[in-house]
Amino acid sequence: MDALSSLIDGFGTALTPTNLLFAFLGVLLGTAIGVLPGIGPAMTVALLLPLTRGLDVTTALIMFAGIYYGGMYGGSTTSILLNTPGESASVITALEGSKMARAGRASQALATAAIGSFVAGTIATLGLALLAPTVAQLAIKVSPADMFAIMVLAFIAVTAVLGSSRVRGLASLGLGLAIGLIGIDKTSGQQRLTFGIPELADGIDIIVVAVGLFAVGEALWTAAHLRRRPVDVIPVGNPRMSRSDWGRSWKPWLRGTVIGFPFGAIPAGGAEIPTFLSYVTEKRLTKHPEEFGKGAIEGVAGPEATNNASAAGGMVPLLTLGIPTSATAAVMLAAIQGFGIQPGPRLLSSHPDLVWGLIASLFIGNTALLVLNLPLAPIWAKLLRIPRSYLYAGILFFASLGAYAANANVFDLFLLLIIGAMGFMMRRYGLPLLPCIIAVILGPRAEEELRQALQISNGHVSGLLDPMSIVVFVIVALLLAWPIVRRLLPRRATDSVLAEAAHEIEEAHEHTGLTTAVSVERHTERRTEVSVERSNEPGAW
Amino acid sequence: MSTAASSSGGGTREQGRSEFGVALFLGAVGLLVLVSALLLPESRISRGPVGPAAVPIVVAILLIVTSVFLAIDVARGGRGEPEGGEDIELGGGTDWRTVLMLAVAFIANALLIEPLGWVFSGAILFWGAAFALGSRHWIRDAVIAFVLSIGTWYVFALGLGIVMPPGILEGIL
């Protein structure tokens, strides 16, 4: 087995005392920051990005693997112990998780989340290790035209995510692409959108964009709508599970892994859809349907396993194609680029020690997650009580520190505020952040591939089309035309699991009070359905 | 439960009007990208059939078309969905005073970081932001602010080899 021997080499890299220490440090910091309310996994990774700048590449990425998993897990702890809707990937966990916590079963909820994350993460990382060499081998044969098509697919897929407004997704994509254009054009040496400002000639540092959008934008947005009432944190002891909890949890963990891994690997908007699918599946298969909505352990075990499996699944396109599928993965990619390493199909053959070291440390990070988080849960619960004024002041403090440390340039601090203001506007008007950050990172590379492809074909547009890219473009067209296609299909065909998931998403959003307004697209599509529902629950509004 | 029709009273109409602002912003950015792409001088070292202006023009068209579609969506009653969060309470208005004070603290740090040094500018940022967010423990906040700024200065300098500006404390730190 080629993959296995490479993986063993990877463990050789990752298991040196220094690297092991940084893997643990990554998990610890990632969880500690991720557990803080208002800080999602993407912001965790963005805020901790500057810390890795002084390290050697391999060590830095190993630490990142820890931060990645730690940040994911931290978010779910928050949603179990605080009875308020959090960021989208952990909204589902909150549905049953906080109900369990209210019923005095917080430690069981945390335990099934931690152990489920470990099980799913380990299986999914194994899947990554086995799959990555094969995908990378295929990817090396990919032409610039194909690569361009795949990037267009990534743009459209993150934009046309289920249950959100397409127009607003496209708006976010366009803004991201425009930011990516800023700087000197590599092929012609021309300055684009720099307005004669010398600091803009090298383009805007991705750290500044990521920290601005995720940290500064979030802090300003939250500050404008800060909940002034005292927070309600559910106290928790050491996580533990009874025999019946184990019996009810292990199948959802495995099903969650199967759902999460493939969804993580395609650019379909991160963990939101697969966690919903897992929730719906568990609700349908459970032997205790009466407990759903009142704190069913399956409703925590499944989505949490899904969440972690999709995090590992997201590493497949990241390491083999250089394409991020979630905001967190996008920031990871920025970290790799920050070390001057060009991500893409050749990464695995040109830096095998780095890639395999990273995969091995995903295993280590996963184990560290379990070892640290079971005993530390009560401390994490205390972190939730941090005064909000210090929390958001701290976010601005560390955001400024990181952005300045990256290039030692005051100009970046002003850019940070401008991008933060844009992040504020995007949150205010429901423009999703994911298309924007993916466009900033992939946009310049997509342009390069496009120009290369057309250079090969001497400017003939036909150079963009070969069998593979045609298939990809057809998928893009279908995604774009989906609302029309759906109307043409017979009614029954559209009543798929996905449609039900979309319905569940809306229901849950309403349930948690997240949705205060909807886009017309969705509105017109389900007008009939909604009106029926409304007449059934007159008291709800 | 709230839908486009029932979200808090007059807020809907007001948000509707300001949502046209988003469409306007997109259109303006699109025009800016378009004009600056068309104004690019002829390149002498350009290689390949696609020049530096081609992709910006495509991006500009995407932005402008999107702005039109967004305006249509808003006119038909579509509303963006404000993002929720653990510490967020939507429904009330936007607290611009806090946001403005935070921005002032942030800009103060940017202006002072090189003349005064990170220890002071960072502390001012933290203290000012905590004040903006409603903390009134003057002394305790100041102590925390300085512990953070001095601590991070040393962690970055000794642990990561990144020296933040020492400013007026040059030689003392």
3-state helix, strand, coil in chain A (%, to 5): 75, 0, 20
Of B70, B84, B126, the CB nearest to A393: B126
Q: Tell me the pLDDT band of A497, cut-offs 50, 70 and 90.
A: low
Tens digits of per-residue pLDDT, A200-211?
988 898 889 999
The residue assigned the tokens 């040059």 is B170
Q: Which of A406, A49, A400 is nearest to B112 (CA)?
A: A400
List the domain boundaries for chain A: 2-480, 497-534
**A143 or A228, which is more confident?**
A143
pLDDT above 70 covers a percentage of chain A that reads 87
B173 SS3 class: coil
Range of A3-7, A485-489, A497-501 with top mean pLDDT:
A3-7
Mean pLDDT of A191-202: 87
What tokens does A387 get?
Answer: 């005064």
**A269 or B73, which is more confident?**
B73
HSE (side-chain half, CA atoms, 13 Å) at B80: 28
Compute CA distances A497 → A29, A162, A274, whole Å.
38, 12, 11
A209: closest CA of chain B, how far (Å): 16
Query: Above 50 in pLDDT, residue A375?
Result: yes
Residues 183-212 of A with CB under 8 A from B: 185, 187-190, 192-193
Paired sense of beta strands A183-184 and A191-192, if any = antiparallel
Query: Above 80 in pLDDT, residue A450?
Result: yes
Whether the CB-CB separation of A111 and A370 falls below 8 Å is answered with: no
CA B131 and chain centroid, separation: 20
What pLDDT is attached to residue B72?
92
What pLDDT is attached to residue A531?
39
Angstrom distance (rounded) from CA A377 to CA A233: 13
Say whether residue A392 is in contact with chain B using an 8 A CB cutoff: yes
Mean pLDDT of A461-481: 87
What pLDDT is attached to residue A525?
40
B59–A181 C-beta distance less than 8 A: yes
What pLDDT is attached to residue A163?
54
Q: Which of A253, A239, A261, A247 is nearest to A282 (CA)?
A: A253
**A423 or B160, which is more confident?**
A423
Query: Above 60 in pLDDT, residue B11?
Result: no
Q: Which of A392, A80, A208 is nearest to A200 (CA)?
A: A208
Q: What angle do CA A339, A345, A349 make, to 5 degrees?
A: 75
Range of A78-87, A426-435, B48-57 with top mean pLDDT:
A426-435
pTM for this prediction? 0.85
Q: List CB contacts (< 8 A) between B83 and chain A.
A: 221, 427-428, 430
Angstrom distance (rounded) from CA A57 to CA B97: 43
A392: closest CA of chain B, how far (Å): 8
The whole-chain average pLDDT of chain A stands at 82
Whether the CB-CB separation of A39 and A388 falls below 8 Å is answered with: no
Q: List CB contacts (< 8 A) between A170 and chain B.
A: 62, 66, 69
Contacts of A124 (CB under 8 A, 6+ apart): A257, A260, A261, A264, A308, A309, A310, A311, A312, A313
Q: Tell me the pLDDT band of A489, cut-offs 50, 70 and 90.
A: low
**A32 or A231, which is more confident?**
A32
A53 SS3 class: coil
What pLDDT is attached to residue A256?
92
Tens digits of per-residue pLDDT, A324-350?
988 888 888 888 887 888 888 888 888
Of B2, B26, B88, the CB nearest to A171: B26
* Lowest-confidence segment of A49-63, A85-99, A141-155, B93-107 by average pLDDT: A85-99
Residue in chain B closest to A506 (alpha carbons) equals B1
Tens digits of per-residue pLDDT, B13-64?
556 678 899 999 999 999 999 999 998 876 665 566 778 888 999 999 999 9
What pLDDT is attached to residue B112?
95
- Amino acid making up residue A297: I
Residues 40-99 of A with CB under 8 A from B: 50-51, 53-55, 78-79, 82, 84-87
Say whether residue A461 is in contact with chain B using an 8 A CB cutoff: no
Which phi and psi (to 5°) does residue A18 adopt? -60, -50
Mean pLDDT of A300-323: 90
Q: Which of A242, A292, A282 is nearest to A258 (CA)?
A: A282
| For chain B, counts of helices (H) and of strands (E) | 5, 0
Tens digits of per-residue pLDDT, B115-156?
999 999 999 999 999 999 999 999 999 999 999 999 999 988
Tens digits of per-residue pLDDT, A239-266?
778 888 888 999 999 999 999 999 888 8
Say whether residue B151 is in contact with chain A using an 8 A CB cutoff: no
Q: List CB contacts (< 8 A) between A452 and chain B.
A: 48
Residues 73-112 of B with CB under 8 A from A: 73, 76-92, 94-96, 98-99, 102-103, 105-107, 109-111
Q: Tell me the pLDDT band of A1, cut-offs 50, 70 and 90.
A: low
Q: List CB contacts (< 8 A) between A53 and chain B.
A: 160, 162
Residues 15-54 of B with CB under 8 A from A: 15, 19, 22, 25-26, 29-30, 32-33, 36-37, 40-41, 43, 45-52
Q: Report the sign of the C-alpha dihedral through residues B58, B62, B68, B72, in that order.
A: positive
Tens digits of per-residue pLDDT, A91-132?
788 888 888 888 888 888 989 989 999 999 999 999 999 998
Of B88, B114, B132, the CB nearest to A410: B114
Whether the CB-CB separation of A483 and A164 falls below 8 Å is answered with: no
Whether the CB-CB separation of B78 and A519 falls below 8 Å is answered with: yes
Which alpha helices (H) appear in A266-351, and where do they start and end? 272-285, 298-313, 315-320, 327-338, 347-350
What pLDDT is attached to residue B70?
93
Q: Tell me the pLDDT band of A517, cut-offs 50, 70 and 90.
A: very low
Q: Which of A121, A96, A172 is nearest to A312 (CA)?
A: A121
Residue in chain B closest to A195 (alpha carbons) equals B36
B40–A429 C-beta distance less than 8 A: no
CB atoms inside a 10 Å sphere around CB B109: 29
Q: List CB contacts (< 8 A) between A414 and chain B.
A: 107, 110
Angstrom distance (rounded) from CA A311 to CA A535: 40
Q: Which of A214, A228, A233, A218 is nearest to A389 (CA)?
A: A228
What pLDDT is attached to residue A75?
80
Q: List CB contacts (< 8 A) between A171 and chain B.
A: 22, 26, 63, 66-67, 70
Say whether residue A273 is in contact with chain B using an 8 A CB cutoff: no
